Structure 1
Amino acid sequence: MRLRGVIFDVDGTLVDSQADILAAMAGAFEAEGLSAPSRDAVLGIVGLSLDVAIPMLAPTCDHAACTRMVQGYKDAYAGLRRLQGADVSSPLYSGAREALLSLKEQDEVLLGVATGKSRRGLDKLIEAHGLDGIFLTQQVADDHPSKPNPSMILQAMWDLGVEACDTVMIGDTSFDMDMATAAGVSFIGVAWGYHEVARLAGADVVIEDFAQLEGALETVWSKTDV
């Protein structure tokens, strides 16, 4: 049996966490006496690790201020999650659960995650949505350089024991796409996330909803079958 690896981004792909992302970022900036970045600016950096994203949003701040803002964002985000519950603050997109469960039932398909979230954040999200046991490899920002460095995907492939030609990354941002390209794997973009579809022009396929995912995977893998 030929094993296939399917690796998912999280924010903007599996869950819609933009309300908490925007609120937490605004809180981090306000704590430093700064105006919050625009919605488009904040969503434009989702997927990057915080130590990369915040200096991009606050280019005039020194390292110490950016470090405080990183921690401020983490604290604010955790507070919002405690207040509402991760299932409410970061709801699954329509069809996400069904798509994951369907893929999980296929013995040759192995699922993973590659996310800019922290380990704590991912664990809380998986617990809240009852997704324990779905993802056989979980790559988080704590353990890797920021996307688009391919480190997360390379480690995921090692964990799953799959080849690059049998691996697909699924995400909503150009950072996910560029990470997939750097790792030598296929990329399926999703149209409902935080980057405009035009920024996903290099994707093998772009899907409009989760109902199209399995067909897109078959299309991608048919090109690599020999």
Structure 2
Amino acid sequence: MKALLFDLDWTLVDIQGFTDYGTALEDVRELVGEWADVGAPDTSWDAPARICMEALVALAGDSRWQALSDAIERHELAAVPQSTPMTGLELLIDTVSDTPVAVVTLMGPEAARLALATHEVPFTTVVGRLHDLRPKPAPDQIIEACRLLGVPPSDTTMIGDSTWDMEAANAAGAGFIGITNHRPSEFAPGTVTVADLTELSHHLASSELRHR
């Protein structure tokens, strides 16, 4: 692998645990009412967070999408000061210091960059949710991150905590490693998984990435 792509929330930093997605969901419903079920994959996210993200997927390309995203991002921005690093973040940063890295996240771009700065994560290529990119589990964000890094998806590995990350990676033709955060795996059988960022760092240090 020539590059790594990381999800942000519950992969590098815990922001969801401090985000008032319940109120965000009230804002979403006030803005857009109801939306069509898009059959998004099941995931272990809290229900209000999952429904907010499903709304963003369902309304991709809709004229109301940016207002919807902005309403959710206000709550994400408010949560960043209370957010916490995931176990092993410092070791991971050291492990991948010589590797091209991008962050591919469903969070708003301003909130994502603030979270990275708050926790001193030196990953500067960030693809947050944008109006002109279909969000994960579609492949668009991963493809855009690869374009910015100058590598094809087949030479990258996406690392994330959810089936949305896995499906986006598969659709883009990228590799995938799932982080379980010490919970039962929700990933497809045969998926490479690690419990946390510490285990991921050990896996990467012994892999072909270290010797590319």
Which TM-score bucket, shorter chain as reference? 0.7 to 0.9
Q: Does structure 2 retain, via aligned residues, the 8 Å contact 1:139–1:156?
A: yes
Structure 1: where are the runs of 5+ without partners?
56-62
Equivalent residue, structure 1, for 2:72: 73
User: In structure 2, the residue corresponding to 1:94 is in which secondary structure?
Assistant: coil
**Counterparts of 1:9 and 1:178 in 2: how far apart (Å)?**
13
Distance 1:98 1:214, change over 3 A: closer
Q: 2: distance between equivalents of 1:157 and 1:50?
A: 26
Cα deviation 1:175-224 (Å, max 9, x = unaligned): 0000000111110000118xx644212563100122221443467758xx
CA distance in 1: counterparts of 2:198 and 2:23, whole angstroms: 36
CA drift of 1:75 comes to 2.8
- Equivalent in the alignment of 1:12: 10
Q: What residue is the counterpart of 1:185 in the other structure?
A: 174
Q: 1:71 to 1:155 in 2, by over 3 A?
A: closer
Please list the CA deviations of residues 86-142 of structure 1 after superposition, one character each: whole Å capped at 9, or x if unmatched.
3x42211121122122211x3xx21111001111111211221222xx325211102
Supply the distance in 1 between the matched residues of 2:56 and 2:194 (Cα, whole angstroms): 30
User: What is the alpha-carbon distance in structure 2 between the residues aligned to residue 188 and residue 95 of structure 1?
Assistant: 16
SS in 1 for 2:96: helix
Rounded Cα–Cα distance in structure 2 between residues aligned with 1:158 and 1:221 = 22
More helix by share: 1
Match of 1:172 in 2: 161
Q: Describe the SS at the equivalent of 1:168.
A: strand
Query: How far apart are 1:162 and its partner, in Å?
Result: 2.2
Q: Calculate the TM-score normalised by the size of structure 1.
A: 0.70
| Partner Cα separation in structure 1 for residue 13 and residue 206 of structure 2 | 24
Q: Does 1:158 align with 2:163?
A: no
Counterparts of 1:219 and 1:163 in 2: how far apart (Å)?
23
Q: Provide the C-alpha distance between the structure 1 equivalents of 2:156 and 2:65, rounded to a whole number of angstroms.
A: 35
Number of matched pairs? 193
C-alpha change, 1:45 and 1:200, in structure 2 (3 Å) is farther
Question: Given the two structures, how large is their TM-score scaled by the length of structure 2?
Answer: 0.74
Q: State which structure, 1 or 2, has the greater radius of gyration over its C-alpha atoms.
A: 1
**Maintained 8 Å contact 1:8/1:169:** yes
Shift in alpha-carbon separation, 1:99–1:68, aligned structure 2, 3 A: closer
Q: Residue 56 of structure 2: which of 36, 51, 56 is its match?
A: 51
The correspondence for 2:196, drawn from 193, 205, 209, is 209
Map 1:20-169 onto structure 2 (within 5 A): 20-21=18-19, 23=20, 25-30=21-26, 40-44=46-50, 48=53, 51-52=56-57, 71-78=70-77, 80-81=78-79, 86=80, 88-104=81-97, 106=98, 109-131=99-121, 134-142=122-130, 143-169=132-158
**What root-mean-square deviation, in Å, do the aligned CA atoms of Structure 1 and Structure 2 show?**
3.3
Evaluate the alpha carbon distance shift between residue 218 and residue 181 of structure 1 in structure 2; reply closer, same or farther with a 3 A threshold: farther
